[in-house]
Structure 1
Amino acid sequence: MRCILSFCLVFFGHGAIQAEVLPIEAFASKPDVSNMDLSPNGDHVASIVKVTGKKKGAVVSIVNIATGKANYHLFTDNSKFVITSLEWANDDVVLVEAKFPAVRGGVPVNEWRLIQLNIHSGKSRSIVPRLMFKKFSYVPQIQSKVIDILPDEPDFILMELAGQRSGGEPSVYKMKLVTEGSGRTKVMQRAREDVYDWLTDRQNNIRIGIRRDDTSYEILEQSAERDGMRTLWSFEAFSKEEVWPMGFDVEPNILYVKALHDGRDAIFKVDLNDKALTKELVYSNDNYDVTGGLRRDIGSGRVIGVGDHYWDNDYANLKKSLDAALPDTSNYLIDFSADGNRYLVLSTSDNEPGIYLLGDRKAKSLNAIAYRYNQLTPDVLSIREDISYQARDGLNIEGYLTLPKGGEGKKLPTIIFPHGGPISHESSGFDYWSQFLANRGYAVLQMDFRGSSGYGFDFMQMGIASWGQAMQDDVEDGARWMIDNGIADPERICILGASYGGYAALMGTIKSPELYQCAISFAGVMDVEALVKSHRRFINYEIAKKQIGDDFDLLWEISPLKHVKKVNVPVLLMHGEKDRSVRYSQSEDMFDELEDEGKQVEFITLEDGDHYLSNAQNRLIVFQAIERFLAQHL
C-alpha cells in the first residue's frame, strides 16, 4: 500500500505483475503530491497535495521531518486560482505562485501572483502590497517573478514587476517578507526601454538585461566598474546566433550561457573581462540539446552541473550511488538543505509515476516519503518503448510506443498522439495520458515530429512557420509505420491531441482521410490566423508571427476551420471556457461549422476549465469522454 506524505519511512515494494483495468479516477486525478521542496535548514518539506472528499482541490502541505506532523494551508478548488509552484524564501516562509483567470481589455488572460506563507502562524498574503499599484500606470499581469533569494538578508527577495512603463518593461524591487501589516519595498533597478528580463550575479547585483525589439534581442551587461550598459551579444529570434545567459558563477564575471555547439544547444562559460567574450565549452551532448537549469552547490553557490548532469565529483558520485541503489528508475536530485546533508530525490520511470525520497548523508539513509500517484503502481502500468522511424523524406523521427499489457504481437486499436507546442518534445518517463489509454487496451504512438525541441537547431527550424506541412506528414508517417510493423489495426486508428496536437488531430483527418477512424481534440487550434491575431495586444506579437507565420491568407488555408467539408470521421472536441492560451471560441466555431455541415461531432464545454486541465473534475470529464468516444468508434 502506498503512503501519502507518511513518515513511516518504509521503503517501497510491489506485488506480482498483472493486467488490471484501473478506475478512470486513477489516471484523471491530479497528482497526490507534487512540487516537493526542502527548507534551507532541512527541517521541513513543503509540497502541493491533492484534496479529495466533498471539497476537491489542492493545499500547500508543510511536514515537520522530525515529528512527521503535517499542516495544511491555502486550500483552492482549482477554479478561482491554481497553485502552480512553491519555493522556500527562508526557513519560515514559503513563496507560493498562484495562477488566476482574468480579463483585460476584453481579452481573456492569466494573472500570476506570489503569496507568502508563514509556516508557523499559517498566515498568508500577497507579497506585493495592493497599495503599491496606485503608483503604477496599470496592474501588472505577472506579479510572481522572483529573480533572487537573498540568503544574507533572509527577510527580503528581489522581484520583477511591470506597470510603470506602458510597454510592459519591468523594474526590479527589493521586497520585504511580512505576513501582516505593510511591507517595505525599494526600487533596485528602474525599467529600461525594451528590457523585459533581468539577471543577478551571486553577489545579488543586477547585472544582465535582455532587450527585445520586435524579433531582435540584445544581451546587455552593467557593472559598478563602468557607466551605462554594454551589449554582449545581439541576434534575431530563432537564429543560430542566439546566446542566452543562464547565471553567474561565484566569481562575479564568470557567466554561464546556452548557445549552439555543432548545431545543438550546449553550455558555455564566458569571462566578461575578456573583450573577445570567448565561449568556453563546459558541457554538450552529441545527439540532443542540453536542457535544464544550472545546478549549484547549496553552501557556496558555485555551479556544479546543469539539468541532471553534474561535473562536480562529489555530486556526481552521489548521483552514481543513487542510480546504483535505484537501478530501475531515473533519479533526480531536486533539492538540498543549506548544509548539504539532507536532500530530496524524485525517482521515476515509464511505469513508476514518481516516488519522493528523503536522503541524509550523515545518517547514510534514503527513505521513501511520498508517492506522486497513490493508485498507480508499476505492476499495473505499461512500458513506454523508445522507437524511431523514417519520414517520407528520410528524416529520422524519434518517439515513444506504449502497448497495453499482453498486447505484444497483436494488431491493436491505436491512438496516434502528437504533442502540443509545437516547439516542445516528448519526455521519457511516466505519462498519464498514454498510460490511461494503454490501460484501456490501446496502442499509443507519441512522436517528436520536425519542429520539436531537443534535437538541435536544424530540426527545430523545420517547424518555423510550417504548420500543416511536413510536420503533419511526420505524424501521418508514424501512423503508417505502426501499420507496416503490424502493431496497429488499420481499421481502428484514432488521432488525439491537445493544443497544437489538437490542431494536428483535425488536420490529420483532412490531409489523410483514409487513415483515421476518428479524431479527438482538447483545446485545439482550429483557426491559425485567429491564433496569431489574438497576440496583437501582447508584447510577443512579432515573435508569434515569426514562429507561426504572418501570411494570413496562408494561415487561414492551413486551418482546420477552413476545411470542415473534408472532415468525414467522428470528431470529439473539448475546451475549457477559461482557456487563456487557445481561446474557447476556436473549438466553439469548429463545432458550429461541423454541425452545420452535418458532420458527426460532439463538443464538451469545461466550465472554469483552463488550457492545462488544472481542475481535477474537468480532467475526469475529459477522460470519461475519451473512454466512451473511443469505445464507440474503435
Structure 2
Amino acid sequence: MSYFIKLVLLVWVFIASSWASNVETFAKEAKYKALKISPDGQYLAAKMNHDNKDILVVIERSKMKLVHTYQFGEKGHVGDFFWVNDDRLVFDKVQMRGWHENPVTYGEIYAGNADGSEQKVIFGFSAGSKKEYGSLRTRNLKSDLAFGEIVDLKRSSDDEIIIAYRPWGTDIDTSTTIANLNVYTGKKSIITRLPVGNMNVKVNELGEPLYAVGVDDDGYLKEFVYNKQSWRPFRTESTISTIVTATVSNKNTLTYLAYHSDKLSVFQLQFPKLTNQMLFSHEKYDVEDLITDPVSGQVVGASLLSGYPEYHYFEPEHRFAKLHSTITSVLPQYYNQIVSATKDNRLYIVQSQSDQQPTRYFLFDTESNKLTSLVHSKPWIQAAKMGNRKPVEFTARDGSTVYAVVTEPPTKQDEVKVVTLVHGGPFGVYDDWLFDTEAQMLASHGFTVLQINYRGSGGYGEQYEDAGIRKLSTLMQHDIVDGTKWYLKAVKLKDESKQSIKANACIMGWSFGGYSAVMSSIMAPDVFRCAVTAAGYYDAYRLSSTADYTNIDSVNTVAQGLYGDDKSELLKASPVSYLNDLNVPVLIAHGGQDKRIPVEQAHLLKDKLEALNKPYDWFYREKEGHGFYNEKNRVAFYSKVIEFLNQHL
C-alpha cells in the first residue's frame, strides 16, 4: 500500500496570540496534553489544561463539536485516559492537596461514556458510591482502599480492562494483584498476584498474563513467565541488566528493549515456546522507542533520538511501516509517533514535535490521504522564533567522546553568553534534540545553551552509562567542565576578532543538575561566572538517609550501588565539603514539600554560604515539591533566573 498525502493545514481550536519573548511564554502549562480517537472514529478525546486544571473533553469528530467535558472539583485533575470501546472512556483521577502545588494519586479509576452518561468510579475508595459526579454522597462499604492503575485495555473485550493494585499504606515493593475490571459495573475478578514487588506485567489480547519483569529487594532484575496459572522464573542465569518498553502483539509476541553489544536494542520473545531473537541494534546509539501499530500491537520498527531523529523498519513491507514512513516523509522536520487509531485502520492520530516546535497533533485519513493539523500543545509558541538545536560531540580530557546538544539564540548576539544546563537523573537520562522549554526560554533571552550528556547519561550505550557509577563528583563533573571549555574555545576560534571569553559561562540545573552547578563551579572557578541550583543536593551523605526512595528497598539498593554507601565516600562527593573554594555567586531555589531532595539541603547550603560570607540569592516556595508545578511560581523563578544571569554574564 502506498500513500500520497495531502497536508491540510486546518487547525482545530487554534488559539492565535501575539509573540513576545518573555518568561510567561515558556512558563505556561501546555494547553493540550494528549489526544486520542475513539475506535469507530466518531469522537476525539483530548486532555487539556483549563483554569490550571487538567480536564478531558470529548469532541464529535465530523462536526468538531464539543460533546462533553469531564472535570472534577476544584482540586481534582484528570490523569491518563483510554478508549475502551467506541463509546466508553476510562481515566485516572489525581488530586491536589492543600499543602502541595503538584497533584497526587490515590489510585482511583473512573469511567464514563462519550456523552457524559453512565459516569462511575469503577475502582478506588469511592467506588460504587451513590454520588453526583465529583461529590461523594455516601461511602460504599466495598470500596477499594488501594492504589489502582490500568495495565492493559484487553483488546478482545469491550467491557473489561486489566488493572494492577496494591493496598494503601504499602510501597512499590509490595506485590501487586492483577485483575479484570468491568468498566460499567466496577466488578473485578482476580487473575493473579505478581511474584515479587516493583514489577511490570504484560498480558496478551485476551487479558492473560504472559510475562513480568522488575527489581527485587536486593536490586536484581527478575523475569517471570506465566504458565498454567502460576509464575515461574525465567532466564535466571541471564546477565541482562535492563529491560524496558515491552509490548505484546496479537500474535503473543513480546517485543522489548535490552542491551546487545553495548547498545539498547530490540528483541522479540515468542510465546509459548519462549524463543528469543534480536531484531535491531544500532552501532552508535540506544533505541529510544518502538514503532508500534496501535491496533494490533505489532512492532514494525524502532526510533532513535540520541542524535537527530532516526527511524529503522525491520518489517519495511508491513502496512503500518509504510504508513509511518510516508508520514515521516511528509513531516521530515518532526519526530513523529502514531499514538492512536480506529479499529478499521482508517484514521490515525499523529503526535509530532521538533527542536523548535512543541508537540502538535495531526489526523491522517488513509481513504482521502489527507493529513490534517488538529491542535498545538502550546499554540502561543511560534516555532520560527525559537532557537535551533543541534547535537554535537567533543573529546573529554581522557580522550573519550562525549555528547551534547547546543541551542543557539534565535537572533544574532553581539556577545556569546553560555549557560551550561545540566540534566538531572543522573543515570539513564539524556537531553535530546526535541523542544526543551528551559533551553528555549534561555535562548530567547540571548543565551547560548549547552546541554552535556556526561557519562552516566542514557542514549549512548551501557558502557557509557555505567562509566558514571560512583563518579558523580569526578568523571561526570569533568565531562561538564570539559564540554563547557570546549564550546567556549570553539566559539573563540569561530570568530577570531573576539577577545578572551575564558569565563563567559554560567551553569544551571535541577536536582543532580543543581548539585553539578555547585560542584562544577567549585572544581572549575575559571570557567563559570555564576551557578543556578534548583532542587539540588549538597550533602550526599545526609541525602542517603532522607530522600524518599531510601524507604523503598528495591530502589535504595540500586541507588547505593550507583551513588555509593560509604560515609567518607559520600562526604568526599559533597559540595558542602568544599565551599571555601566556591568563588561564584549562587542562586539557590527549592520547594518546601520536596520529598526526593528535602529542602533541608537548600537551607544547609544557604547557612554555610552565609557563615562563609559567600554571595547567594534565594528562591523558595513552601508548597512546591521536586520542581515548580504552579505556573505563577515558574514565572517568578524564570524571571529571577534571567535577572541573575544578566547580572553575572
Q: Tell me the TM-score normalized by structure 2.
A: 0.84
Residues in 2 aligned to 1:233 and 1:369: alpha-carbon distance in whole angstroms: 46
Per the alignment, residue 10 of structure 2 pairs with 9
- Structure 1 residue 215 and structure 2 residue 216: aligned? no
Aligned pairs for 1:117-136 within 5 A: 117-118=111-112, 119-121=114-116, 126-130=121-125
Per the alignment, residue 48 of structure 2 pairs with 49
Question: Compared with structure 1, are the counterparts of its residues 11 and 57 closer, same or farther at alpha carbon in structure 2 (3 Å cutoff)?
Answer: closer
Residues in 1 aligned to 2:383 and 2:197: alpha-carbon distance in whole angstroms: 50
Task: State the superposition RMSD in angstroms.
Answer: 3.3
Tell me which of 172, 175, 180 is aligned to 1:174: 180
- Structure 1 residue 519 and structure 2 residue 531: aligned? yes
Question: Compared with structure 1, are the counterparts of its residues 12 and 330 closer, same or farther at alpha carbon in structure 2 (3 Å cutoff)?
Answer: farther
Cα deviation code 1:333-355 (max 9, x no counterpart): 22211211111112321112232
Per the alignment, residue 30 of structure 2 pairs with 31
Letter of the 1:616 counterpart = E
Per the alignment, residue 58 of structure 2 pairs with 62
Tell me which of 69, 72, 78 is aligned to 1:72: 69
Letter of the 2:513 counterpart = G
Deviation at 1:390, TM superposition (A): 0.5
Tell me which of 85, 96, 107 is aligned to 1:113: 107
Letter of the 2:561 counterpart = K
- Structure 1 residue 550 and structure 2 residue 562: aligned? no
Residues in 2 aligned to 1:591 and 1:269: alpha-carbon distance in whole angstroms: 52
Residues in 1 aligned to 2:568 and 2:96: alpha-carbon distance in whole angstroms: 32
Answer whether contact 1:498 1:524 (CA < 8 A) is retained: yes
Residues in 1 aligned to 2:537 and 2:591: alpha-carbon distance in whole angstroms: 13
- Structure 1 residue 289 and structure 2 residue 286: aligned? yes
Question: Compared with structure 1, are the counterparts of its residues 200 and 442 closer, same or farther at alpha carbon in structure 2 (3 Å cutoff)?
Answer: same
Deviation at 1:191, TM superposition (A): 4.6
- Percent identity among equivalent residues? 23
Question: Compared with structure 1, are the counterparts of its residues 60 and 109 closer, same or farther at alpha carbon in structure 2 (3 Å cutoff)?
Answer: closer
Answer whether contact 1:386 1:399 (CA < 8 A) is retained: yes
Answer whether contact 1:496 1:505 (CA < 8 A) is retained: yes
- The residue matched to 1:503 in structure 2 has which SS? helix
Answer whether contact 1:411 1:489 (CA < 8 A) is retained: no
- Structure 1 residue 609 and structure 2 residue 624: aligned? yes
Letter of the 1:206 counterpart = P
Aligned pairs for 1:442-453 within 5 A: 442-453=447-458
Answer whether contact 1:522 1:573 (CA < 8 A) is retained: yes
Which deviates the most, 465-474 or 40-49? 40-49
Per the alignment, residue 246 of structure 2 pairs with 246
Residues in 1 aligned to 2:264 and 2:116: alpha-carbon distance in whole angstroms: 45
- The residue matched to 1:286 in structure 2 has which SS? coil
Deviation at 1:549, TM superposition (A): 1.6
Deviation at 1:521, TM superposition (A): 1.2
Residues in 1 aligned to 2:573 and 2:451: alpha-carbon distance in whole angstroms: 22
Cα deviation code 1:413-441 (max 9, x no counterpart): 11011111112011112111111111101
Per the alignment, residue 647 of structure 2 pairs with 632
- Structure 1 residue 185 and structure 2 residue 188: aligned? yes
Cα deviation code 1:152-184 (max 9, x no counterpart): 332221111112996511011222224xxx721
Deviation at 1:287, TM superposition (A): 1.2
- Structure 1 residue 594 and structure 2 residue 609: aligned? yes
Residues in 2 aligned to 1:570 and 1:398: alpha-carbon distance in whole angstroms: 28
Per the alignment, residue 372 of structure 1 pairs with 377
Per the alignment, residue 578 of structure 1 pairs with 593
Deviation at 1:221, TM superposition (A): 1.1
Deviation at 1:476, TM superposition (A): 0.2
Aligned pairs for 1:229-628 within 5 A: 229-234=231-236, 240-242=240-242, 246-252=246-252, 254-274=253-273, 279-293=276-290, 295-296=292-293, 298=295, 300-307=296-303, 309-312=312-315, 313=317, 314-407=319-412, 411-423=415-427, 424-486=429-491, 489-533=501-545, 534=547, 535-539=549-553, 540-628=555-643
Residues in 2 aligned to 1:453 and 1:82: alpha-carbon distance in whole angstroms: 32
Answer whether contact 2:222 2:236 (CA < 8 A) is retained: yes
Deviation at 1:137, TM superposition (A): 14
- The residue matched to 2:107 in structure 1 has which SS? strand
- The residue matched to 1:613 in structure 2 has which SS? coil
Question: Compared with structure 1, are the counterparts of its residues 429 and 525 closer, same or farther at alpha carbon in structure 2 (3 Å cutoff)?
Answer: same
Question: Compared with structure 1, are the counterparts of its residues 187 and 387 closer, same or farther at alpha carbon in structure 2 (3 Å cutoff)?
Answer: same
Deviation at 1:32, TM superposition (A): 1.8
Answer whether contact 2:125 2:144 (CA < 8 A) is retained: no
Deviation at 1:456, TM superposition (A): 0.7
Answer whether contact 2:108 2:125 (CA < 8 A) is retained: no
Question: Compared with structure 1, are the counterparts of its residues 279 and 29 closer, same or farther at alpha carbon in structure 2 (3 Å cutoff)?
Answer: same
Letter of the 2:251 counterpart = E
Cα deviation code 1:547-586 (max 9, x no counterpart): 2221132112212233333322111111222333322222
Residues in 2 aligned to 1:168 and 1:435: alpha-carbon distance in whole angstroms: 41
Per the alignment, residue 134 of structure 2 pairs with none
Deviation at 1:242, TM superposition (A): 4.3
Residues in 1 aligned to 2:453 and 2:277: alpha-carbon distance in whole angstroms: 31
Deviation at 1:507, TM superposition (A): 0.7
Question: Compared with structure 1, are the counterparts of its residues 374 and 510 closer, same or farther at alpha carbon in structure 2 (3 Å cutoff)?
Answer: same
Residues in 2 aligned to 1:387 and 1:86: alpha-carbon distance in whole angstroms: 38
Residues in 1 aligned to 2:55 and 2:192: alpha-carbon distance in whole angstroms: 35
Question: Compared with structure 1, are the counterparts of its residues 579 and 122 closer, same or farther at alpha carbon in structure 2 (3 Å cutoff)?
Answer: farther
How many residues are treated as equivalent by the alignment?
Answer: 602
Letter of the 2:529 counterpart = Q
Question: Compared with structure 1, are the counterparts of its residues 287 and 122 closer, same or farther at alpha carbon in structure 2 (3 Å cutoff)?
Answer: farther
Deviation at 1:73, TM superposition (A): 2.7
Answer whether contact 2:156 2:205 (CA < 8 A) is retained: no
- Structure 1 residue 151 and structure 2 residue 151: aligned? no
Residues in 1 aligned to 2:506 and 2:616: alpha-carbon distance in whole angstroms: 14
Question: Compared with structure 1, are the counterparts of its residues 625 and 395 closer, same or farther at alpha carbon in structure 2 (3 Å cutoff)?
Answer: same
Answer whether contact 1:202 1:301 (CA < 8 A) is retained: no
Which deviates the most, 90-99 or 358-367? 90-99
Question: Compared with structure 1, are the counterparts of its residues 394 and 381 closer, same or farther at alpha carbon in structure 2 (3 Å cutoff)?
Answer: same
Deviation at 1:325, TM superposition (A): 2.2
Residues in 2 aligned to 1:136 and 1:557: alpha-carbon distance in whole angstroms: 53
Letter of the 2:552 counterpart = F
Answer whether contact 2:174 2:198 (CA < 8 A) is retained: no
Question: Compared with structure 1, are the counterparts of its residues 328 and 229 closer, same or farther at alpha carbon in structure 2 (3 Å cutoff)?
Answer: closer
Unaligned runs of 5+ in 2: 1-7, 128-138, 304-310, 493-499
Residues in 2 aligned to 1:169 and 1:489: alpha-carbon distance in whole angstroms: 56
Deviation at 1:99, TM superposition (A): 4.5
Residues in 1 aligned to 2:411 and 2:211: alpha-carbon distance in whole angstroms: 55
Tell me which of 201, 207, 214 is aligned to 1:204: 207
